[in-house]
Structure 1
Amino acid sequence: MVGAASNDQSFQDSKDDMKMPVVLVTPLANGDLALKFGYPLPDGGCQKLEATFTKGAVAGQFSNPAMGQTDIRVAFTDYLNFAVLYLETRRGDTRNVWLQLYARAPELFPEGAQKLQLLGPQVGLNPSQGALLPKTVRPPPRRPCGSPAPSKINVSEASQRRRAFVGGRARTPTLPKTTQGWAGTPQGRSGRG
């Protein structure tokens, strides 16, 4: 994950200190997604977290009730370099929205960053609520935090599985509308690409 934006207060309080985590996404046979996160710690260690996104009724839509994530959507992807996820969380009476930018490599992919910025106003977020996450500034371990041992993968099979979980084409789903504008972006401008 190379960038994120949210109205979640705990994210706002910690975003300036966050570092880029490693995230491994594996499509499962039943349509769910298995995720493994590796968050770098200041002492050089690694906090690991595993989660499952449960497939929803629509292609590219998921949920994770255990983490309060009631609506997770693949908002946009080019299938090769980046994906932008929309997440809605609910804890008690509090509802928060998130946009997360994932990239295949730990560098910012300009088209992905642009999609993140264009989708922000559609979900009520503004630039001050986002952050590009810096790479960890420490000597890398033998394998990056959360990375599996290298293995051979059938690229064709992986592409088919990726396309299956987001409906088979690069797309932007219908997201909740808002009247709040994004700084420097005209209200009502579409994030569809």
Structure 2
Amino acid sequence: MGATLLSRVLVLLWVTSAGAEVLVQPDFDAKKFAGLWYVVAMVSDCKVFRGSKDHLLMFTSNVTATAEGNLSVHMEVPGPDGCNQMDAEYLRTGSQGHFRVPTLGYLDVRVVDTDYSSFAVVYIYKELEGALSTLVQLYSRTQEASPQAMKTFQDFYPTVGLPHDMMVALPKSDACSSGGQGAP
């Protein structure tokens, strides 16, 4: 019992210190962030990601801001069996633009940079299958990210220790044709 408690405390301390250097978009505005986003590129050190990155497809996140400062997110992710839909609550922790998502194992989610109208860079520190990993996603309001958005994304992820060879630009798919608008 004591060893389990100690290991959990150490993980929490490590998570806190690991995310401490990652800043959040100044004056983040959840209402401006709301709406349809395409996830057009990703990079991660997750073992599951490494094994599947060549088969991933572009997906959507339809974001709604809540009065409490949380985000309600509806995702449509193309997969081998069609369109997989899921809903998640991004629970605000501390400052605006900083969240956790217990249902997905996301311990720390930060909107690092956004102009609200065309792109966002989102940092995620998560636990999957008992392993901790970092994931950075590039969101775009269209299926084509601008060169400036891609540069901002590519300049950011090495700062959290992610290598360029783990980045993938996600190909388009028509498996989820509702564009993130439908309900599950």
Is the alpha carbon distance of 1:68 and 1:110 closer, same or farther for their aligned partners in structure 2, counting shifts above 3 Å? same
2: CA distance, partners of 1:90 / 1:22 = 22
Per-residue deviation at 1:116? 1.2
Give the structure-1-normalised TM-score: 0.69
Q: What residue number does 1:27 align with?
A: 65
- 5+ unaligned residues in a row in structure 1: which ranges? 150-193
Aligned residue among 132, 137, 145 for 1:108: 145
Aligned residue among 43, 55, 64 for 1:5: 43
Structure 2 residue identity aligned to 1:13: G
Q: Which digits, 9 at most, give the CA deviation of each residue in 1:34-56, with x for residues without a partner?
A: 1111112345x211011110001
In percent, how many aligned pairs have the same letter? 33
- 5+ unaligned residues in a row in structure 2: which ranges? 1-38
Per-residue deviation at 1:99? 0.6
Per-residue deviation at 1:117? 0.8
Q: What residue number does 1:147 align with?
A: 181
Aligned residue among 97, 122, 125 for 1:88: 125
Give the SS at the match of 1:12.
helix
**Greater strand proportion:** 2
Q: Which digits, 9 at most, give the CA deviation of each residue in 1:118-164, with x for residues without a partner?
A: 1112100011111000101x5884x33x3249xxxxxxxxxxxxxxx
Q: What residue number does 1:130 align with?
A: 167
Q: What residue number does 2:93 align with?
A: 56
Q: What residue number does 1:37 align with?
A: 75
Give the SS at the match of 1:2.
strand
Mean CA deviation greater in 75-84 or 59-68: 59-68
Contact 2:40 2:169 in 1 (8 A): yes
2: CA distance, partners of 1:91 / 1:46 = 22
Q: Is the aligned partner of 1:15 residue 2:53?
A: yes
Per-residue deviation at 1:61? 0.4
Structure 2 residue identity aligned to 1:33: L
Is the alpha carbon distance of 1:39 and 1:58 closer, same or farther for their aligned partners in structure 2, counting shifts above 3 Å? same
**Greater helix proportion:** 2
Q: Which digits, 9 at most, give the CA deviation of each residue in 1:151-179, with x for residues without a partner?
A: xxxxxxxxxxxxxxxxxxxxxxxxxxxxx
Q: What residue number does 2:113 align with?
A: 76
Per-residue deviation at 1:2? 0.3
Give the SS at the match of 2:103.
helix
Give the SS at the match of 1:54.
strand
1: CA distance, partners of 2:128 / 2:55 = 24
Give the SS at the match of 1:53.
strand
Structure 1 residue identity aligned to 2:66: L
Is the alpha carbon distance of 1:37 and 1:60 closer, same or farther for their aligned partners in structure 2, counting shifts above 3 Å? same
The count of residues paired between Structure 1 and Structure 2 equals: 145
2: CA distance, partners of 1:147 / 1:105 = 14
1: CA distance, partners of 2:110 / 2:121 = 9
Contact 2:41 2:167 in 1 (8 A): yes
Point out 4+ residue stretches in structure 1 off by more than 4 angstroms: 138-141
Q: What residue number does 1:178 align with?
A: none
Contact 2:83 2:176 in 1 (8 A): no
